[in-house]
Amino acid sequence: MIRALLVFVILTALGALKLPIERDLAAVHRQEHFRGVAFNLDLREKLGQLGFIAALSGFRSIVADALFIQAHVAWERTEWGRLLLLFRQITTLQPRAILFWDMAAWHMAWNASVAALNDKTQPRLALRVKAQREYFALGKDFLERGIKNNPDRPQLYEALARLYKEKYKNHERASEFFAKAAALLGAPSYERRFSAYELSYCEGREREAYDRLRRLYDKGEKERLPTLITRLKFLENKLGIPQDQRIPDTDPLKR
């Protein structure tokens, strides 16, 4: 009890010293889309007394890192409910840390969803599929909230695009979020290609996809990758592009 009281006093004193600095930083955080941490009873219940005091005193990153270690242990033990709770705490404490949002979504939409579908304790396939889709939704929710806190970073847009592509099989939405990632500063060059690839699978949008892929192709050899050529050839055939307007065959036997 004495040790706990001493920790309480020290952290409270540090918090009082840092309070003016924290106030000055608040305006900067809002400008940088930092949604901040809601220091309310809900967070108090999630973190426990000492964890809440540490967060209030400005040690959010330390608390988040400690919780992240606990989350890794929960993953190894396949404790999906505990893992979900821990990542909700972690992302609340560190909303500008891309890694935490990305890892939370990966664990939910990929690891937990696979475990749910293969759950041998649940004999009914329909219920396993339902649980799987609920985990998809949890992963999507993490990414959407991560984007709200980090609208200027391309990584989470790409992660959401991949989720739509691989889990929901929604090529149109995947194309949309690859395009949003491509529009941001520092985005990898492949984002634009991936957006066009996904659009090429969308019924009714083939012409738009063809135009985008053809523009990439016309930029030069660096863009003329096998997948781009394959999708472009597919669209040429589907749209009935005249032979004299088509790209040349890469296979010597077809020339």
| pLDDT higher than threshold 80 for residue 184 | yes
**Residues of the domain holding 190:** 152-255
Residues 111 and 156 occupy one common structural domain? no
Global pTM value:
0.79
My answer on whether 128 and 156 are in the same domain is no
> How confident is residue 72, by pLDDT bands cut at 50, 70 and 90?
very high
In a domain, 119, yes or no: yes
Residues 47, 55 contacting (CB under 8 angstroms)? yes
- Domain boundary at 151, 178, 196, which? 151
178 and 237 part of one domain: yes
In a domain, 9, yes or no: no
pLDDT digits (tens, 9 = 90+) for 148-176: 999 999 999 999 999 999 999 999 999 99
The per-residue pLDDT for 249 is: 82
pLDDT for 13-31, tens place per residue? 655 555 554 555 445 444 4
97/204 same-domain check: no
**Can you tell me the distance from the alpha carbon of 154 to that of 135, in angstroms, rounded to the nearest whole number?**
23
pLDDT at position 59 is 73
Say if 21 falls within a structural domain: no
For residues 192 and 87, state if they share a domain: no
Determine the Cα angle at 110 with ends 76 and 84, to 5°. Answer: 60
Pick the last residue of a domain from 122, 151, 180.
151
Tokens of 226: 């096998």
Asked, for residue 8, whether it belongs to a domain, the answer is: no
User: Is residue 38 located within the same domain as residue 67?
Assistant: yes
pLDDT of residue 252: 39
Average pLDDT, the chain: 85
Beta carbons of 241 and 206 less than 8 angstroms apart: no
Least confident range from 47-56, 161-170, 219-228: namely 47-56
Once rounded to an integer, what is the mean pLDDT over residues 124-129?
97
Residues 48 and 143 in one domain: yes
| H-assigned helices in 32-79 | 41-47, 49-56, 60-76
Name the least confident of 55-69, 74-88, 123-137.
55-69
